[in-house]
Amino acid sequence: RLGLPNWSWLTETNTAVAAACVGPEKCATTFSGPLGMGASFNRSSWRLKGSVLGTETRAFSNLGWHRGNPGDFVTLTGYGPNINILRDPRFGRASELPGEDPVHSGLYAYEMVSGMQERDAAGYPKMLAFLKHYTGYSVEANRGHDNYEVSPHDMWDTYLRQYALAFEAQPMGVMCSYNALNGSPSCANDFILNKVMRGMWKKDALVTTDCGA
């Protein structure tokens, strides 16, 4: 009724801006996988990666461009980096993650988000970053129907530490994970969403669900 265009929240920004090519040799930059970039321990490259993703997200958005389906626009909200912890090599999304150490993953995310949300000449962030998948998401099978009993020590040491470090860069928020933690779905979990994230890191952090959640 207001004549506003569609807004697509889901623009993946983990390894590249998920967008169709604008023309021959006019495509989004595709970086080495996060596992490889994480293994470099090169924080400057992590920030530069974020900066390129931010610039290209803004460019595709300014063009009114899409992800492949002409109605699925690239907008200024991006999902990434993915900083789940690689606890088992059989996890189906190992290639999306920077590593198995929470501090290392948190520093990777801090640098990448800092680059993604760099300010333009007018003082506006180039894009808004959403960390994923918050949290405890280390098993791909049966997602959406799984619950994990996590001890307080493991929660703080393994599943929240990387997000605490990443939020020092003030991302816009998170994509909550499919799974439940200690009997409460991540997307409706008062402890991780309100007491921890909004109570300790960023009081106005936004939360969006994963696809189909």
Strand order through the sheet with 180-181? 147-148, 180-181, 184-185
Verify whether residue 210 is a known catalytic residue.
yes
Per-residue pLDDT at 117 exceeds 90: yes
Q: Which residue has the higher pLDDT, 212 or 77?
A: 77
**Range of weakest confidence among 9-13, 77-81, 151-155:** 9-13
The mean of the pLDDT values for the chain is: 92
How would residue 18 be classed by pLDDT, with cut points 50, 70 and 90? confident
Q: Is 0.85 surpassed by the pTM of this model? A: yes
**Range of weakest confidence among 63-67, 97-101, 198-202:** 63-67
pLDDT score at 171 = 98
Per-residue pLDDT at 57 exceeds 90: yes
* Those residues with Cβ within 8 angstroms of residue 19's Cβ, 6 or more apart along the chain or in another chain: 11, 27, 28, 56, 60, 65, 66, 67, 68, 74
Per-residue pLDDT at 59 exceeds 90: yes
How would residue 196 be classed by pLDDT, with cut points 50, 70 and 90? very high
Whole-angstrom distance, CA of residue 49 vs CA of residue 113: 9
Per-residue pLDDT at 211 exceeds 80: no
Please check whether residue 88 is in contact with residue 48, taking contact to mean a CB–CB distance below 8 angstroms: no
**Of 72, 154, 190, 210, which is the active-site residue?**
210
